[in-house]
Structure 1
Amino acid sequence: LALLLDNVERLGGSWQRAAQISLFLQIDASEAEGQALREQIGAMDEVAEAEWISREQALLEFQQQSGLGEALKELPDNPLPGVVLVTPREVDKVTLEALRLRLAELPKVQQAQLDLVWVERLTAILNLGDRFVFGLTLLLVMALLLVIGNTIRLHIENRRTEIEVIKLVGGTDSYVRRPFLYMGALYGLGAGLLAWLVLAYGLGWLNAAVIRLAGLYGSDFALAGVPAGDGLSLLLGAVLLGYIGAWLAVARHLNELEPR
């Protein structure tokens, strides 16, 4: 789920376009002034992209999308102003509002418009996804500790007589505990490797459908695989959880196994 959320966030262009700032210029702004303003805005650090839409292009798009093409041809003059569409680098409500106010003060800008509702919805969705993944991670960690702890407990019960003999001849708790800790770490390593393989195969299987869907929208988006760093972190985390689960299980039951 964390990898899928990361892939969703990779759709940065789509998220950012939902938070675009539209700068409506004054009617008397010329083509050269609009292009110059676009270049000025595009050079700002907070801006990822700036696109200039001339009055003629805006009217043409409006005719195509509104279905009022014939009626608009009867107008004596083009009533639409030139527009600069600004795509920000970061989708943050406070940052975007500050950028909008800054852009509104530029020359020839009559109005700077930003749909903050989309930004708030986007931020809420991403935060919800992060919280859901974090909560599910905690549940899975506890489940893994419980499973490995129970598995180690069964091994301890099966070797109860052996452990009592070892302690009877002077074996220390550390000596008795060590093989079970190794066993827990090996269980974690095996689980991590299996999870990595299943995750890589699952993303590859899902990616075929994602590519077909993206192609229908004229996009070349594809799911990213499992990064090597994330895979190694998965293995390390699984080994540590296996070790911790084994240690907790042994610490709980070792005191009960005193020689009689």
Structure 2
Amino acid sequence: MSASKMPTPQPAERVGAAPRNKVVDRPADDPDFRTLFHAWLESHRASLVDSLRRLGRQPVGSFFTCLVMAVALSLPMGLSLLLDNIERLGGSWQRAAQISLFLELSANDRDGQALSEQIAAMDDVAAVDWISREQALDEFQQLSGLGQALKELPENPLPGVVLVTPREVDKAKLESLRQRLAELPKVEQAQLDLVWVERLTAILKLGDRFVFGLSVLLVLALLLVIGNTIRLHIENRRAEIEVIKLVGGTDGYVRRPFLYMGALYGFGAGIFAWLLLAFGLDWLNDAVVRLAGLYGSDFALGGVPSADGFYLLLGAVLLGYIGAWLAVARHLSELAPR
């Protein structure tokens, strides 16, 4: 056999070795999903650490920025919590809208109890109180100061009264309920102070609108504060940002650290606002308890509910993020490399 027809020698296989897998080279410009995701996480981690480090280098300025934001956040939340506590004062606001049912003089205690049980079974009724003729006369004697003169009367002129407390303070619903109650047997007259109900509704609406308007103004102020703060950070890093954009850095890469910085400002402000509300309500509660005790009441202010505190913290973070995004979006076009 000639040398030209000799088979090309192959490398020997080691006995017991695993079969060789054919390696397929992946193009350099086609990274897999895991690599991309890891790079994305690493970029966000680096931006977060960098933002924390820069805030830590200016502890006094960062503290006062968060404190100013916290005061602005705590004002509307504190007023809202105070309104909620005022609604609980004396039991409930529904007590101010009671419907008084004056029964016929011929109605006895059994009729009054039966009527009270019938009314209490209605869906739009929260509570029912029965005042007999004798109880009404005793209360009138104590409050009017005419006790001796009333004893000279041949008979009790006062009727039995059923006090109905509705579930909702709404003028239309209260008037509908009053008309239904007036048609019940043994009821002589159904009386409702609609003027007080209208005043009560107006006071509640005024409080809600005031809190809403104050919240809008303070949210705008917070956006201005966080926007101006981020703008100062951008100016301090202008040269660095221009170099990053010169070597191909994207707008998202440039924007990311400032967004984390705004969110961190919001998080710190939310924590401070929560603490301010908790300590403020606790400090105010001492005076409220003493005042309520003078009137024989055990009323006390409630603290900050956990759900409200969490929403306050979440809202503060979102406000910081939005304010930072607006500030960077406004100045990003000016950060082109020269």
Q: Normalised by the size of structure 1, how large is the TM-score?
A: 0.98
Equivalent residue in structure 1 for 2:314, among 211, 236, 241: 236
2:165 equivalent to 1:81: no
What are the superposed Cα offsets for residues 30-51 of structure 1, whole Å, 9 maximum, x if unpaired?
A: 1111111111111211111111
**Aligned residue in 1 for 2:337:** 259
Shift of 1:14: 4.2
TM-align CA RMSD: 1.0
Question: 5 Å matches for 1:28-177?
Answer: 28-177=106-255
**Aligned residue in 1 for 2:257:** 179
Q: C-alpha distance in 2, partners of 1:10/1:137?
A: 23
Shift of 1:13: 3.1
Find the residue that maps to 1:111 and give its secondary structure.
strand
2:264 equivalent to 1:190: no
Task: Check 1:12–1:216 CA distance in 2 against 1; reply closer, same or farther (3 A cut).
Answer: closer
User: Which amino acid counterpart does residue 92 of structure 1 have in structure 2?
Assistant: D
Preserved contact between residue 90 and residue 299 of structure 2 (Cα < 8 Å): no
What are the superposed Cα offsets for residues 68-118 of structure 1, whole Å, 9 maximum, x if unpaired?
A: 111111111111111111111111111111111011011100000000011
Give 5+ residue unaligned stretches, structure 2. Answer: 1-78
Equivalent residue in structure 2 for 1:213, among 265, 268, 291: 291
Shift of 1:141: 0.5
Q: C-alpha distance in 2, partners of 1:10/1:61?
A: 26
Find the residue that maps to 1:13 and give its secondary structure.
coil
Q: Count matched residues.
A: 260
**Aligned residue in 1 for 2:94:** 16
Q: C-alpha distance in 1, partners of 2:151/2:88?
A: 42
Shift of 1:251: 0.5
Preserved contact between residue 104 and residue 160 of structure 2 (Cα < 8 Å): yes
Q: Normalised by the size of structure 2, how large is the TM-score?
A: 0.75
Q: C-alpha distance in 2, partners of 1:44/1:216?
A: 37
Shift of 1:9: 2.1
Question: What's the % identity of the aligned pairs?
Answer: 83
Find the residue that maps to 2:128 and give its secondary structure.
strand
Q: C-alpha distance in 2, partners of 1:171/1:52?
A: 78
**Aligned residue in 2 for 1:222:** 300
Find the residue that maps to 2:188 and give its secondary structure.
strand
Q: C-alpha distance in 2, partners of 1:66/1:86?
A: 24
Shift of 1:209: 1.3
**Aligned residue in 1 for 2:48:** none
Preserved contact between residue 94 and residue 165 of structure 2 (Cα < 8 Å): yes
Q: C-alpha distance in 2, partners of 1:12/1:222?
A: 11
Q: C-alpha distance in 2, partners of 1:65/1:14?
A: 24
Tell which deviates more after alignment, 67-76 or 190-199.
Answer: 67-76
State which structure, 1 or 2, has the greater radius of gyration over its C-alpha atoms: 2
Q: C-alpha distance in 2, partners of 1:8/1:55?
A: 34
Give 5+ residue unaligned stretches, structure 1. Answer: none
User: Which amino acid counterpart does residue 174 of structure 1 have in structure 2?
Assistant: G
Q: C-alpha distance in 2, partners of 1:6/1:69?
A: 41
